Amino acid sequence: MNLDMNKLEPLLGTVVNELGAASNAALVILGDKLGLFRALALGAVTPAELAKKTGTHERYVREWLSAQAASGFVEYDKATGKFSMSPEQAAVFATEDSPVFMVGGFNLMSAVYSDEPKLAEAFKSGKGMHWDEHNNCLSCGVARFFEPGYRAHLIGEWLPALDGVVEKLKRGAKVADVGCGHGISTQLMAAAFPNSEFVGIDYHDGSIEHARHHVNGAKNLRFEVARAQDFAGSDYDLVTMFDALHDMGDPIGAVAHIRKALAADGTLMLVEPAAGDSLSDNLNPVGRVYYAGSTHICVPTALNQEVGLALGAQAGAKRIGEVVRDGGFSRFRKAVATPFNMVIEVRP
């Protein structure tokens, strides 16, 4: 075997880094669950001090801190033997309402690793996987991963980027949030626009049950179990779909039903993962995360449904536009984008 060391050494370096990242993902989940990150964000501590603050065992905490320092997730001061977090590290790992809080992405790892045997069978059979077939709380991880972005951008940036929509919502509009999952996006909109009526719709009973438990007395908000292809209601001023269209087995059917359910001057707002229109456009860190997530979650979900079109999480604006036009819409534009999402405005 003749190997080019100039190619092999960088590859092995990447693989070693990947093994460390994959192994440490479980420790990030532990750090969040046990309150280690949150306690550490309050100030520099020794392992013994952090263990006392969190009711954990010092020897485990010392090793956990060492792993986080080696990963660059916390700081270590050799002179004092203390560990700490920079404001940036705290924003990513310890501050739940931070717009860059990323621990939800690690929560997803519990489900995807646990589901590997089922996914292997799906690879061989070509069958899909329903949300209820996933182990652990996949929907919890998905909700927690996307929530910081929704809180940071939805009300202040995304909705204002749509022509005339905010003015309608302020006056009083009828809104359906299709594929709402745990209903975080629906709740945010309902709280911001009390004159409008909102219904969150999802085909997954467990997610809707969770959403209903978090209505918190809102009078302009309800949740219903229904499919995107045949949910009830008509004359909606706004229909939203947050990171949901590409998961659907029949996205064209979903869009076609939304077209019928919209008012004549209504708007369909699609929030989809950031993606270019070709594989080569998406060979970057964000695309890497989404292709992996799509393999674990999005494609199996779509293949479990009727048509099983399986757009995948990196379909891109061009492909989404084709689906929208096949569903009966004529106007389509990318209204705004973030590193993780693109917001698409669709009109009849």
> Quick one: how far is CA 199 from the chain centroid?
20
Angle in degrees, CA 309, 312, 313, rounded to 5: 150
Angle in degrees, CA 322, 254, 172, rounded to 5: 105
Residues 6+ apart with CB under 8 A from 200: 177, 180, 183, 185, 186, 208, 211, 221, 222, 223, 224
- Note the pLDDT of residue 217: 86
Cβ atoms 180, 202 nearer than 8 A: yes
C-alpha dist (Å) from residue 316 to 278, 284, 313 = 7, 14, 8
- Note the pLDDT of residue 335: 96
- Note the pLDDT of residue 216: 84
Considering only CA atoms, give the Rg of the chain: 22
Look up residue 231 and give its DSSP letter.
-
- What 3 state SS string does 187-224 have? HHHHHHCCCCEEEEEECCHHHHHHHHCCCCCCCCEEEE
**What is the tens place of the pLDDT at every residue in 69-103?**
999 999 999 999 999 999 999 999 999 999 999 99
**What is the tens place of the pLDDT at every residue in 196-251?**
999 999 999 999 999 999 898 899 999 999 999 999 999 999 999 999 999 999 99
- Note the pLDDT of residue 246: 96
Three-state DSSP class for 138? helix
Residue 54, phi then psi, degrees to nearest 5: -110, 0
Q: What predicted TM-score, i.e. pTM, was given to this entire model?
A: 0.92
Which domains can be identified in the chain, with CATH numbers?
Answer: 5-94 (1.10.10.10), 152-347 (3.40.50.150)
- Note the pLDDT of residue 21: 94
CA nearest neighbour of 311 among 284, 273, 267: 273
> Quick one: how far is CA 80 from the chain centroid?
39
> Quick one: how far is CA 237 from the chain centroid?
25
- Note the pLDDT of residue 136: 72
Cβ atoms 108, 139 nearer than 8 A: no
**Interatomic CA distance for residues 279 and 293, integer angstroms:** 15
- Note the pLDDT of residue 205: 93
Provide the residue-wise pLDDT of the chain in tens; the chain has 348 residues: 899 999 999 999 999 999 999 999 999 999 999 999 999 999 999 999 999 999 999 999 999 999 999 999 999 999 999 999 999 999 999 999 999 999 999 999 999 999 999 999 999 999 999 988 988 788 899 999 999 999 999 999 999 999 999 999 999 999 999 999 999 999 999 999 999 999 999 999 999 999 999 898 899 999 999 999 999 999 999 999 999 999 999 999 999 999 999 999 999 999 999 999 999 999 999 999 999 999 999 999 999 997 878 999 999 999 999 999 999 999 999 999 988 999 999 999
- Note the pLDDT of residue 137: 81
